[in-house]
A and B are shown apart, each in its own frame.
Chain A
Amino acid sequence: MTVSSDALSAADWTAPRRTHPWSIVVNAVHEARRVVSGLVIAVLSGRALGGGELVGVLVPVGAAALGVLAWARTSFRVAPEEFRLDSGVLFRQSRSARFDRIQAVDLDQSAVARVFGLAELRLQLGGGRHGHFRLACMRQQEAARLRAYLLDRVEQVRTGPPQTTNAGSQSTESEPQSTEYERAAESERAEHQRVAPAPGASGQPIAASVHAADRARIAAQPVAYESGVPYGPVPAQVPLLVVPAGRYLASLALSVPVWVAVLALAASVAAWAAGATQLLGAFVPETVAVVGFAWDRFQRYYGFTLTLSGEAIQLRHGLLNRFAQTVPLSRIQAVEISRPLLWRPAGWARVRMNVAGYAHGGGRGEAGKRGASMLLPVALSRSAFEIVGRLAGVDLNAVPLHPAPERARWRASLWRRGYMYGFDEAVVVSRRGLLHRRDCVIPHAKVQSLHLVQGPWQRRLSLATISLHSTRGPVKVVLRHRDVDEAQRFLEEQSRRSATARRRTAA
């Protein structure tokens, strides 16, 4: 460890600190989209009243002054029990996040932030729309160190003081902490530097390194490390899976949004070439939206790397906006392996998950709506099943699947064959879909509640549908059109299985 990286020891986080000055610019650019439209309206309306130029100058100057003020009034520090963020110009706000409430610490790098070598920390506190903190922006390495430090503290609170380093030596209290922290920080930093450079910037384009790692190295990775070790310091973190750029592009080319985007673009161009300006007016906004969506899809999960590290998985992805996220295995609530029709010939699958404690629907970027739910954007379905099986601790191919009864064809004539479910001592698996096949996996201990629903038509046929509820997310586990006696029995047994599994996890 070099002197410069030692300069910021654990103790330094306890003093109030400001974010990096460049974050004013980064925030300004982020806000610009919203501001520009307001500015245009202000200038135009100002021009109508006279003095539009004045408004055009005053508003940006005022906004810049506000930005500087907001930056100057924002500070953060690490208190003994919590992380604290003070902000606000007129209305002062002091928010604190207790270490035992922090669910995850994510690192988010928008394209603008990357230009300045900055990164944003995001603390996930679980639940609610305001369940996360954004800490914009610090120097990339500083952010990575703070993240490692916070993760370490969170882990300590969760598991008690680290046993391994304490054993035998009666050293001062801060000693084991700081060594844990340093190890964590070092590994975090090393990894960050390995992944972070922009494609082409370091002479080692990401695409090339990804191609070199074209294979899922599943067998080489031990499943779990000794508990009590923080997420960071695992000696050799071989990625479980790196999504090759070529496969990722091909998978996108075989997805509906991209086709819609291409068609919209073609229609717009055709309309323009034919000189049909009215049509163009109708097409262009949709085209912009659709192409933007497709582009977002593309850049968001580019270079997706999944690493198993101790009792957590690490996800890193993004072309322009880079994102690093650590999800403890215990917080994954349910997983869905989906195989769209167009991917079936190539044998690809997408894996998504429900993660507990992620604030949904708030905030720009990854941890917003969909970010926290992607486990693998595309992988060979064999690898997908194997990885999901390893995360859940079961062999998914060994779980026997039962099809829906024959008479369900009177209720779902075409799709009946697609409905299957099965369970073993650890998980319930449901499959649905003939064309777009979705396999959902939920561990017994993660079931929140169970519903059994029987519609009038189902009652005539002695059928029933069971839902196993998970936390918010894309995965819905539904067992459709089962025999009603079987469903009733399943409901009874499943509540018992879940109770047993919960007790086992609690112990």
Chain B
Amino acid sequence: MIDADALPGDGAGTLAEGGWHTVAHARLALAGRARLLPPGLVLLVLAGLNGGAARLWFAAAAAALFAVSWYPLGRSARTWRYRERGEDLLIDHGLLVRRQVVVPYGRMQFVDIVAGPAERALGICTLRLHTASASTDARIPGLEPASAEQLRDRLAALGEARMAGL
């Protein structure tokens, strides 16, 4: 597990203006970059197995994969923020395509906490909200497990209190 203090500007759970919560964006960005490792390694292995021009191409592809996505991943991780409001949870994110999601507490059916291997190693996790609609894409990545669990319990209690029939 990586020490969170070692990462400058990792603003997990900081209360920003207007009641917005931010997420641990530095670690979130690292987790995103870590997800590039498997395809990157495959490309490097391919480069090793091939010779001549093909080797160059594969190596270039591996380098490009990291070069192109390194910076945007960091930037987009910074855009995640959420706000607990009276009746609903508001999630806001997106660098190129901006997305805002409003999930009423009374519509939440269940709340998941998931963490992939990279996220676990970095000590973060993702909170997922489910409604009766399959199109609801509401998740908050880059939460610390303790605060994610607190948030989940809070949301579950709010959902219980406001649960409305379909």
A357, B166: Cβ atoms closer than 8 Å: yes
By a CB distance below 8 angstroms, the chain A residues around B100 are 451-453, 491
Question: A residues engaging B (CB < 8 A)?
Answer: 330-331, 333, 356-357, 445-456, 459, 467, 469-472, 476, 491, 495-496, 498-499, 502-503, 505-506
A506, B135: Cβ atoms closer than 8 Å: no
Q: Knowing that A357-B166, A447-B107, A469-B136 touch, tell me 5 more A-B residue pairs with CB under 8 angstroms.
A: A449-B133, A450-B102, A471-B166, A499-B104, A502-B162
User: Given contacts A356-B132, A448-B133, A499-B87, are A506 and B104 in contact (CB under 8 A)?
Assistant: no
Q: List 5 A-B contacts (CB under 8 A).
A: A331-B166, A449-B135, A450-B102, A455-B96, A496-B87
* Complex Cα–Cα for A115 and B102 (A): 52
User: Given contacts A449-B101, A469-B131, are A495 and B137 in contact (CB under 8 A)?
Assistant: no
A469, B133: Cβ atoms closer than 8 Å: yes
| B53 adjacent to chain A (CB < 8 Å) | no
A472, B97: Cβ atoms closer than 8 Å: no
* Complex Cα–Cα for A491 and B99 (A): 12
* Complex Cα–Cα for A459 and B135 (A): 23
By a CB distance below 8 angstroms, the chain A residues around B133 are 448-449, 469-472
| B106 adjacent to chain A (CB < 8 Å) | yes
Partner of B136, one of A357, A449, A453, A495: A449
A502, B104: Cβ atoms closer than 8 Å: yes
* Complex Cα–Cα for A456 and B76 (A): 14
Residue of B nearest to A446 (CB): B166
B98, A453: Cβ atoms closer than 8 Å: yes
Partner of A491, one of B102, B134, B164: B102
User: Given contacts A448-B132, A449-B107, A502-B164, are A454 and B98 in contact (CB under 8 A)?
Assistant: yes
| Chain B 109-140 interface residues, beta-carbon cutoff 8 Å to A | 131-138
What mask results when residues 68 to 80 of chain B are scored 1 for a CB within 8 Å of chain A, else 0? 0000000000000
* Complex Cα–Cα for A503 and B125 (A): 33
| Chain B 133-166 interface residues, beta-carbon cutoff 8 Å to A | 133-138, 162, 164-166
| B46 adjacent to chain A (CB < 8 Å) | no
Query: A377: shortest Cβ distance to chain B, in Å?
Result: 25
Residue of B nearest to A450 (CB): B102
By a CB distance below 8 angstroms, the chain A residues around B84 are none
By a CB distance below 8 angstroms, the chain B residues around A470 are 133, 135
Partner of A495, one of B98, B102, B135, B162: B102
By a CB distance below 8 angstroms, the chain B residues around A454 are 94, 97-99
Point out which of A330, A450, A506 has the most chain B C-beta atoms below 10 A from its C-beta.
A450
By a CB distance below 8 angstroms, the chain B residues around A496 are 87
Query: A479: shortest Cβ distance to chain B, in Å?
Result: 13
Query: B84: shortest Cβ distance to chain A, in Å?
Result: 13
* Complex Cα–Cα for A448 and B106 (A): 9
* Complex Cα–Cα for A505 and B87 (A): 16
Interchain pairs with CB closer than 8 A, number: 86
Residue of B nearest to A453 (CB): B99
* Complex Cα–Cα for A459 and B98 (A): 9
By a CB distance below 8 angstroms, the chain A residues around B138 are 449
A495, B131: Cβ atoms closer than 8 Å: no
* Complex Cα–Cα for A459 and B99 (A): 12
Query: A27: shortest Cβ distance to chain B, in Å?
Result: 32
Point out which of B87, B100, B133, B164 has the most chain A C-beta atoms below 10 A from its C-beta.
B133
Query: A146: shortest Cβ distance to chain B, in Å?
Result: 25
By a CB distance below 8 angstroms, the chain B residues around A505 are 164-165
A451, B101: Cβ atoms closer than 8 Å: yes
* Complex Cα–Cα for A455 and B98 (A): 6
Residue of A nearest to B132 (CB): A471
By a CB distance below 8 angstroms, the chain B residues around A476 are 135
User: Given contacts A471-B133, A495-B104, A499-B104, are A452 and B99 in contact (CB under 8 A)?
Assistant: yes
User: Given contacts A469-B131, A472-B134, are A499 and B99 in contact (CB under 8 A)?
Assistant: no
* Complex Cα–Cα for A476 and B106 (A): 21
A456, B97: Cβ atoms closer than 8 Å: yes
Residue of B nearest to A494 (CB): B102
By a CB distance below 8 angstroms, the chain B residues around A499 are 87-88, 104, 106
| B61 adjacent to chain A (CB < 8 Å) | no
Query: B136: shortest Cβ distance to chain A, in Å?
Result: 4
Partner of A333, one of B98, B102, B166: B166
* Complex Cα–Cα for A445 and B97 (A): 28
Partner of A449, one of B98, B102, B162: B102
By a CB distance below 8 angstroms, the chain A residues around B165 are 330, 505-506
By a CB distance below 8 angstroms, the chain B residues around A506 are 164-165
Query: A443: shortest Cβ distance to chain B, in Å?
Result: 11
Partner of A451, one of B96, B99, B104, B162: B99
A467, B135: Cβ atoms closer than 8 Å: yes
Query: A450: shortest Cβ distance to chain B, in Å?
Result: 4
Residue of A nearest to B135 (CB): A469
B98, A451: Cβ atoms closer than 8 Å: no
What mask results when residues 45 to 82 of chain B are scored 1 for a CB within 8 Å of chain A, else 0? 00000000000000000000000000000000000000
A448, B107: Cβ atoms closer than 8 Å: yes
A448, B131: Cβ atoms closer than 8 Å: yes
Query: B147: shortest Cβ distance to chain A, in Å?
Result: 22
| B103 adjacent to chain A (CB < 8 Å) | yes
A498, B104: Cβ atoms closer than 8 Å: yes
By a CB distance below 8 angstroms, the chain A residues around B132 are 356, 448, 471
* Complex Cα–Cα for A456 and B165 (A): 37
* Complex Cα–Cα for A446 and B133 (A): 10
* Complex Cα–Cα for A317 and B131 (A): 32
**Which A-B residue pairs are the 4 nearest by beta carbons?**
A448-B133, A469-B133, A452-B100, A356-B166
Query: B114: shortest Cβ distance to chain A, in Å?
Result: 19
* Complex Cα–Cα for A373 and B98 (A): 32
By a CB distance below 8 angstroms, the chain A residues around B131 are 448-449, 469
* Complex Cα–Cα for A463 and B6 (A): 40
* Complex Cα–Cα for A47 and B133 (A): 52
By a CB distance below 8 angstroms, the chain A residues around B99 are 451-454
By a CB distance below 8 angstroms, the chain B residues around A451 are 99-102, 135, 137
Query: A472: shortest Cβ distance to chain B, in Å?
Result: 5
